[in-house]
Structures are given as C-alpha cells and as structure tokens.
Amino acid sequence: MSGLPFAVPSSVILGGALALSLVALVMAVVALLAMRRERTRLAREAEVVRGDMRALVSAAVGVGERVMRLERQLTQLAERQDQLDLNDPAHQSYQQAIRMARRGSDMNELIEVCGLTRGEAELVTMLHRLEE
C-alpha cells in the first residue's frame, strides 16, 4: 500500500518531477544572469574607485613635493634673514648694548656708545639687567 487511496501512474510522477526540475533550472539561470550583471556593475564601480584612488595618490604626492619645496624655501629665507641681521649695523649695536647692559653700563653709556634712543636704552637696560 502506497498511502494514497488511488494509484498515480509513474508517468505523471515523472512528468511532475520534470516540470519541477525545469522550474528550478529556469530560476537558477535567472539568478545566475542577475549575479553576472551585478558582478559586471561591481567591476565597473571598482574601476572607478581605483581611478579615484590613483588621482588622490597623485595629488597627495604633488602636495608633499610642494610642502618640501616650501620648507626648503623657508629654511633658505631664515638663513638669509640671519645673515642680514648679522650684517645690519643696528642689530650689531643692539647686541653691543645688550652686552654692555649685562656688564652694568648705564643708559647714558648705551646712548653714547651704541647710538640708541633714550627709550631703547631704557628697554635694553630693564630687560638685560634682570638677567643677572
């Protein structure tokens, strides 16, 4: 006894199994095609992202090179400024005034020897006598 109250011909069972297999096959093909389209779309999107990354890397390298060039220019300007300061008679007179103030010279000596104004001599005296 097969559990059914009537007998089902084997050709019907075979036909039903074939129909179900065909439906499953069609569904698998549809899913496969959808996955291929998605894979193609993702591959194009990945290529766009790679192009964007190449552009960003190139821009970052350019910015880095510019920063290095600006740092070199800044160093050269600082060195040049230091050289100009050393050759500047006003700078040298201030240095001399500072040395004299540290040795105890008064404001009048700074004015006479270094050619400072009274205000400059007062400032140098106040700042550098405090260092003692």
**Threshold 0.75, pTM exceeds:** no
Kindly list the domain boundaries of the chain, sorted by start residue: 9-80, 88-132
Contact, 106 vs 129, CB < 8 A?
Answer: no
pLDDT of 1 reads 47
Task: State the Cα–Cα distance between residues 68 and 84, nearest whole angstrom.
Answer: 24
DSSP E strand boundaries for 34-115: none
Cβ-based neighbours of 115, under 8 Å, separated by 6 or more: 93
Return the half-sphere exposure (C-beta side, CA atoms, 13 A cut-off) of residue 70.
6
For the stretch 59-113, pLDDT in tens is 999 999 999 999 999 999 988 887 776 666 666 788 889 999 999 899 999 999 9
Rounded Cα gap, residues 130 and 116, in angstroms: 19
pLDDT level of residue 131 (50, 70, 90 thresholds): low
pLDDT of residue 78: 87
Give the containing element (helix H, strand E) for 18: helix 10-87
Contact 128, 102 (CB under 8 A): yes
pLDDT tens digits for range 24-48 = 999 999 999 999 999 999 999 999 9
